[in-house]
Amino acid sequence: MPVHINNKLPPTAAFRVLSAKNAKSKVKYAKSLTKSKERIQQHGEVFTPPEIVNDMLKMLPSKGKESVWRIENPAKFLEPACGEGAFLTEIYRRKLKQVDSNYNKEKKNNPSKKKEELQEWWEFNAALQTSSIYGIELLEDNAEQCTMNLIRIFLSFYMKNFPKTQNEKVIETIQFLISRNIIQGNALTYRRCSVSCGNVCDECEEMIFSEWIPKTENGAFLLIRKDYTYEGIVKAESIKKEIQNSLFAEVEKNVEHGLKKEYPPIFWKEIKYA
C-alpha cells in the first residue's frame, strides 16, 4: 500500500465491484484482476480495480499546502507490493495533472518568459514528481510492467504538452528516475536477489532507494541524490510515526538509519551520471 493510503475500502467502490451486472461479467471482471491461480496462491497477486484505486485516492488531502498533489516539496509515496502499479500509475497521473495546471498558471503569469524556459519549468517539476514515487515488487514481470506503465504515462503528458519540442535527455532522465525508484525485490527481507531465492541468500543485496533533493543555483535546476537502505528507512522508529507525512523527511534527521551515500549536486538532466 502507498504510505498515504489507509486500509479501509470505501463502501461505494466495493459495492460497484460486487454488483457487476451478472455472474458472467463478475467472473470476467475478476479474471482481469488476476494472472493465474498459482500466482494468487504463491504471491497473493490480485490487482486492485481502478474504481477502488480512484475511490481510495479521493480520500487523500487534495487542497492547499496539505495536498498530496502539491508542486512544492512533492509528497512521497512508496508501495512495497506495487504489482503492475495500479496505485502508483494513478498517483503519477494526478501528480502530472497538477504540474500541467501550475504550468498553465506559470505561462499566464509570465507572458514574456521564453517558451524554452517554460518548458524546462514543466520538465523539472515533472521530474520532481517522478522522483517522489517509489515501488517494490517481488515478481520481475510485474516490476517491469509497472516501470513501463509509469514511463508511458510520462510520455503521454510530455507529448501532449510539447508535441514538437521533446528533449531526448529529459526522456532518458525520467526513465532513469523511474527505473531507480521501482525495485524488484522482497519487501519482507529488505533485499533484492538475482536468483530470486525467496528468502535471504549470498546473492541477495540490500535494496537501496534514492532521495532526490532539488536545488536551484544561478537559475539552474540541480538535484542532490542521497541513497538509503530500505531496511534503514523502515526501521527508523520515527518514520513509522510520521509515515503519513513524508517517507524521507525523518530519515534526514536519523542519518544513522540507512544513509549509504550522498552525492554532490548535479544538473538535473545529468543525474544518471552522478
Give CA–CA dist 68/2, Å, rounded: 12
C-alpha cell belonging to residue 185: 525485490
Q: Which residues contact 112 (CB under 8 A, 6 or more apart)?
A: none
Contact partners, residue 234, CB within 8 Å, separation at least 6: 190
CA dist 8 and 92 (Å) reads 22
Give the binding-site size for ligand SAM (rule: CB under 6 A).
Answer: 21
Q: Report 39-98 residues binding ligand SAM (CB under 6 A).
A: 43-48, 79-83, 86-87
Among candidates 82, 70, 175, which has minimal Cα distance to 134?
82
CB 248, CB 76: distance < 8 Å: yes
Identity of the residue, 143 or 151, whose beta carbon is nearer to ligand SAM in the bound complex:
143
* Of positions 59, 159, 188, 220, contacts ligand SAM by CB under 6 A: 188
Give CA–CA dist 114/134, Å, rounded.
Answer: 33
Residue 188: all three cell numbers together: 519482507
All three cell numbers of 132, joined, read 517522489
150 binds ligand SAM (CB under 6 A): no
Taken in order 95, 101, 103, 106, is the CA torsion positive or negative? negative
How far is C-alpha 20 from the geometric centre of its chain's CA atoms? 30
CB of 70 to ligand SAM, least distance (A): 24
What is the smallest separation between the CB atom of 50 and ligand SAM, expressed in angstroms?
A: 10
The stretch near ligand SAM (CB under 6 A) out of 110-118, 135-143, 155-163, 263-271 is: 135-143
Q: Nearer to ligand SAM by C-beta: 131 or 186?
A: 186
Q: How far is the CB of 43 from ligand SAM (least distance, A)?
A: 4
Of the residues 90, 137, 211, 250, which one makes contact with ligand SAM according to CB under 6 A: 137
Nearer to ligand SAM, 26 or 43 (CB): 43
Cβ of residue 59: shortest distance to ligand SAM, in angstroms? 15
The answer to whether 103 and 161 are in contact (CB under 8 A) is: yes
d(C-alpha 203, C-alpha 201), whole Å: 5
Question: Does 138 engage in binding with ligand SAM (CB under 6 A)?
Answer: yes
- Determine if 183 is a binding residue for ligand SAM (CB under 6 A): no
Residue 133 as a binder of ligand SAM (CB under 6 A): the answer is no
Angle between helices 168-181 and 115-130 (to 10 degrees): 10
Residues 13 to 42 in contact with ligand SAM, rule: CB under 6 A? none
Query: Which is nearer to ligand SAM, 52 or 99 (by Cβ)?
Result: 52
Nearest to ligand SAM of 47, 162 (CB atom): 47
CB-CB neighbours of 1 under 10 Å: 15
Applying CB under 6 A, among 187, 222, 251, 271 the residue interacting with ligand SAM is: 187
Residues from 211 through 240 that contact ligand SAM (CB under 6 A) = none
Q: Which stretches of the chain bind ligand SAM, using CB under 6 A?
A: 43-48, 79-83, 86-87, 136-139, 142, 186-188
